Structure formats: C-alpha cells, structure tokens
Amino acid sequence: MMKTKQQQPCINKVKLPGKVVNPREKVPFTQQVDIYDRNNITKPEPPLAGAFKERNTGGTSFKKFYERGDFPIALEHDTKGNKIAWKVEIEKLDYHHYLPLFFDGLCETCHPYEFFARQGVHDMLEHGGSKILPVIPQLIIPIKNALNTRCHKVLCTTLKVLQHLVVSAEMVGEALVPYYRQILPVFNIFKNKNLNSGDGIDYSQQKRENVGDLIQETLEAFERYGGEDAFINIKYMVPTYESCMLN
Amino acid sequence: MSSSPTLSCHLYYVFLQSATIFYILFHGTLAVYFIPFASAFFVTKQRKSNRVLPFFDMAAAVRMPSANQPKSMTRPTRWSDVVEEAYRFQIAGYRDEIEYREVQKTDHVDRWPHNGYVKKLVRRDGCFYYYNRTRECPDKQINKTKLYEY
C-alpha cells in the first residue's frame, strides 16, 4: 500500500516494539492501525473528494443573450404577481433556439437572470405542447450543467423544472430515459440529503426546498411517465431507489 | 322747414341705435369666446372632476361616456373561480373581461379547455401574459382583487 507524505513522518518517529520500522518497508494495515492507537497519534484523514462542494460554472450564454436583449421578454417593474411579459407569442417562438437558452439560465443564481430563466422555462413548457419533444436532446447538457453546480438553490430549481418537463407533453418522459446516465449521478449523491431535526419542524420540506425529498419526487415522476424501461434504468443509476408503481 | 331737422334727427337716432345694436352684437359674440377663460380666474378650490374645462378640450367634454361603466365594487374574502378570473385580468391591467373586450376590440379570450381559466391576455402595450392551468391567485392577494358589478 502506498504511503502518503502525511503518513511517512508519523511512521518515521514510531517504532514497533523490539523492531525498528523502516519507512520504506511495507507495513501491514493491521499493524499501522495499532501503531497510531498505541502511540496516541491521530490518524491523518484522507483528502476530501469534493462530491458535495459547489462548483462555479462561470458565465452562461443566457446571461450574454439577456444583456444583448435577444430575448423576447419585456422588463417588468410591477411588484404585483411574478410574471414575465412576452413581446412575442410563445406559440410563434423557435423552441430549438430559445428553450435550450432558457435551460442554460437555470445555473444562474443572481436576480434578474434567475427569475427570468425559471419563469421563462415554466411558461415555455406550459404552452409548448408538441414543440417540446424534438428539443429534448438539446436540453440534456444544460440540465447536466445545472445539476453539476451542486448548488442547493440551483438543484431545487432544476428538479422542479424536470418534474414539470416530464408532464409537459406526451412521450417526453420516455424520451428522457436514454439520458438517465447523464443526469442521474447527481441524484445519487444528494438523495440522502435530508435534515435530521429530531422532533422539530422542517420548513424547507413545506416550501419544497428539501433536496432529498425533491429528488424522490422527481424519480417517482420519471418512473411514472418514463414507460416500462424507466424503473430499471433509474435503479441502475440510483440503486437505493424503490419503485412507486410496482410496490 | 321745421320737418327737415326733425327727420334728420330721427335718422340720426336710428343710425345711433343700429350702430349700438351692431356694436353690442359684434362685441357680444367676441365676448362669448372669453367667458370660459374669465370664469377660470374665479374658480377657487375645486376637485379635478368639477374643474371647468378650457376651450380646446371641449371635444373631450362632449365625448359620450362608455355604456359599460361599473356601478359598484366589492372586495372578496374567499377564493372562487370568479375571483381567479378577476385576478388574472387585473394582473394584466384591466378591470375585468368587459373592459378587456372594449380595449382590445375582440370577443375572443384564450382559455384553458379543461377548466375555462384565462390562458393568455394581451396587455395594453402589446405584450402577452400567459397564465397557468391551475389556480394562480395566492391567498394574500384575494382581498386585493376587485369585483365589479354593473
């Protein structure tokens, strides 16, 4: 077993009873553990892998297009309601161009980019109909980028968007099945991220901001609308998931 | 000999009277145009609605009011389909469906087929508002919504 630099100085100072330890000599693992315990030395922790660490995506193309004014959205200064005003009817928009751009904006966390991306995606999915299905392959990379940020707020938004996506039109859930291996690994990481508050009240659950619960809801939506092969593909990527339809 | 001065006097008085009448008529017609301006100086404290309109806005004064003006307004306390409908129109800047049809000059309003809620509205500036299939009016906006009666 390869010794790290952190371990070598410790082992250099320690001697086995009746035997001088050569740092270059291979010491069995059971004897290593014994050495640290008997000499009251704290075993060095392995370095963190950073699975839960938030990652910055840098600038998104949504922000660039928004600054240029390429989106058919009118700025709203009315505090009543949380709607965006569209300059062009959504039915006339080119979904192949605009929907991936709005999905790209899901990585944003600053106002107003975050608001316009989220609400724009919501409106386009609500009123897209049959125009959504052909665009699914172009949405996978923005969804993957959003999930890979590992940011709590972005994760919650993206999970809710995915739940809306699978119910927005027919066959969309089944069209997502081949792409599970690209978007479900992050689900596996955060699936057990639930707050253990004892007998307290978790208000994030009520506001739908608990990541663990949102992941469970999203996986159930995938299975419900994904067809026959959905469950086996989900189980392959998220082994701890249990079916909500077969049980 | 005494009649000619009398006749000339008569003629002179007739001329004076006619000149006076003409003078009054001429200046009187002109005075009509100045009465609104003159009266404006004597208006002290009035509400906007009772203010005397200047001459150039008389066209607005003689414009006929809309036939569909509401007579009363109430504030709801509970949510219902009627409240939801009113909320959606008021978000877009209209009083209700009647005003929307008058302003946009159309009888057609886009609605969701399954429950009849408003789906799309055109704002006064030409932009479009899209609404969800389900209820959008939150509880805290119910008492801020206005229900008009005709």
Would you call A77 an interface residue with chain B, using a CB distance cutoff of 8 Å?
no
Which residue, among A121, A125, A126, would best test binding to B if mutated, counting the most B CBs under 10 Å from its CB? A126
pLDDT, tens digit, 9 for 90 and up, residues A44-53:
777 888 888 8
Q: Are A202 and A149 in contact (CB under 8 A)?
A: no
Span A158-170, average pLDDT: 94
CA distances, B62 to each of A7, B51, B103 (Å): 96, 15, 20
Residue B127 Cα, gap to closest chain A Cα (Å): 5
This complex has an ipTM of: 0.71
Which residue, among A79, A83, A84, would best test binding to B if mutated, counting the most B CBs under 10 Å from its CB? A83
pLDDT, tens digit, 9 for 90 and up, residues B46-105:
444 444 444 433 433 333 445 578 899 999 999 999 999 999 999 999 999 999 999 999
* d(C-alpha A55, C-alpha A244), whole Å: 32
Entry pTM: 0.69
Using a pLDDT cut of 70, give the percent of chain A over it: 77
Span B109-128, average pLDDT: 92
Would you call A126 and B129 a contact, using CB atoms and an 8 Å cutoff? no
